[in-house]
Amino acid sequence: MNNVIGFILNIDGDNTDLKPLLENRSMSTLPFGGRYRLIDFTLSNMVNSGIKHIGVVGSYKYSSLIDHLGTGKEWSLSRKTQDLSILSGYSSVRYGDAVKISVRDLYYNEMFLDHNPETEDVIISAPNLITSFDFNPAYKIHKTNNADVTMIFKKVRPSFSLNANDIFLDFNRYRISSIHPYDESNSDYAYADMMIIKREVLLNLLEKANAIGEWDLMDVIRDNIDTLRIFGAPHTGYLSRVNSMKRYREINQDLLDFDVMQELFHGDHQIYTKTKDNHPTNYGPDVSVNHSIVGSGCKIDGKINNSVLFRDSKIGKDSHIDNCIIMQHAVIGDNVTLKNVILDKYCTIRDKATLVGTKDDPIILTKGRSL
């Protein structure tokens, strides 16, 4: 992977029902799993695959991304030496549709693509994929077939939560013969929002797209499918995508499954995140914690079931937390009942309060709210 660079896309998610959790952050820095941000998975997968130069596209909500990535040391990268670059983003929305791979984000960051003249290939990935993935087998397929583009695909499962602009692939042996939107395809193979593309091919396609005013690189690839050598590489194992509130809750719940937890966090590769040194969680004498994830630095004096608690949260005496996601620095008083609730960072719940949502319509408190 010495001649490969990584490019992580920007997805703001403003057109999803996740918007209440994205008021102060982009999709890539949405907290997940008790201590992580979504981008940690894609960034760690690239680093674990041996990619040493990675560009992350930001949005107008830059501060959370800069704060989280810091100098890059947790991922063994350095912004000082440009191993890790935070790149400017362009608007990723066009009228009537959603852009899959923004031409503008790539075109206006050509300096990053040209940073090292020895770069042969670019790996492009979305930031909202929850998976532990080694790009090396896919890269071997890419090089063996002398492919211009290698698209990583997944056999469809309902849990992938498809959208109208999702891409399906048809094959002639291992070569991709056609690319279809979700609503026009009978294929079983969905594009998994990751691809490997020759740098020179990418730059050429960007020039073509800019000349005709095209917004989506996927459309340009599809329009040139007869002249490009496009192959597929399979993704095996766990892969989920956070693209709605429903999926955000479900995928957090997936972590409570031992096999999923084992694959993501106890396999051959580690998922890195911003480190915080704090004390272990303190559990009171009458605490009950069942089928839950509890981050470090918490103080627990209540009962927790089927929930995810982030670092430094406090749960008061005789409080009951059920099917909830509680982010950092939440303070929940005594005798509180929360069911199907999502609390953003720094929320405070007074004593004896009761909040009961439903699985399909959880109650959401945005950052810093008190009740």
CATH code of the domain covering residue 313: 2.160.10.10
Residue in 249, 352, 361, 244 with CA at minimum distance from that of residue 308: 249
Q: Which pTM was predicted?
A: 0.93
Whether 371 is in a domain gets the answer no
Cα distance between residue 174 and residue 149, in whole Å: 12
Q: What is the distance between the alpha carbons of residues 241 and 307, in angstroms, rounded to a whole number? A: 20
Residues 286 and 361 in one domain: yes
Same domain, 102 and 39: yes
> pLDDT digit of tens for each residue in the chain (371 aa)?
889 999 999 887 667 889 999 988 989 999 999 999 999 999 999 999 999 999 999 877 888 899 999 989 999 888 667 789 999 876 544 433 466 888 888 988 999 998 888 999 999 999 999 999 999 999 999 999 999 999 999 987 655 666 666 889 999 888 999 998 876 667 789 999 999 999 999 999 999 998 888 888 999 999 999 999 999 999 999 999 998 999 999 999 999 999 999 999 988 889 999 988 789 999 999 899 999 999 999 999 999 999 999 999 999 999 999 999 999 999 999 999 999 999 999 999 999 999 999 999 999 999 999 99
Within a domain: 273: no
Residues 197 and 328 in one domain: no
- Residue 356, phi then psi, degrees to nearest 5: -130, 110
From 265, 298, 327, give the residue that closes a domain: 265
Does 13 reside within a domain?
A: yes
DSSP calls for 298-332: -EE-SEEES-EE-TT-EE-TT-EEES-EE-TT-EE
pLDDT value at residue 94? 41
At 46 the three-state DSSP class reads helix
For residue 218, give Cα distances in angstroms to 47, 96, 128, 271, 307: 25, 16, 18, 29, 38
Q: Are residues 29 and 166 in the same domain?
A: yes
Rounded distance between C-alpha atoms, residue 104 and residue 90, angstroms = 6
Outline where 86-185 has alpha helix (H). Answer: 103-107, 110-113, 136-144
Cα gap 212→370, rounded to integer Å = 51
Q: How many domains does the chain have?
A: 2
- Are 131 and 189 part of one and the same domain? yes
C-beta separation of 315 from 337 below 8 A: no
- Looking up residue 250, the CATH number of its domain turns out to be 3.90.550.10
pLDDT at position 163, please? 67
Same domain membership, residue 246 and residue 142: yes
Please, which residues bridge with residue 31 across strands? 37
Q: Cα(1)–Cα(136) distance, rounded to whole angstroms? A: 8
Tokens of 278: 């704090």
Q: Which domain holds residue 93?
A: 4-265
Query: Contact, 8 vs 39, CB < 8 A?
Result: yes
Which residue, 265, 298, 316, sits at the end of a domain?
Answer: 265
The pLDDT value recorded for residue 62 is 81
Report CA torsion sign: 19, 235, 43, 204: negative
What's the Cα-to-Cα distance from 345 to each of 4, 295, 312, rounded to whole Å? Answer: 37, 13, 10
Asked if residue 304 lies in contact with residue 319, where contact means CB atoms within 8 angstroms, the answer is no
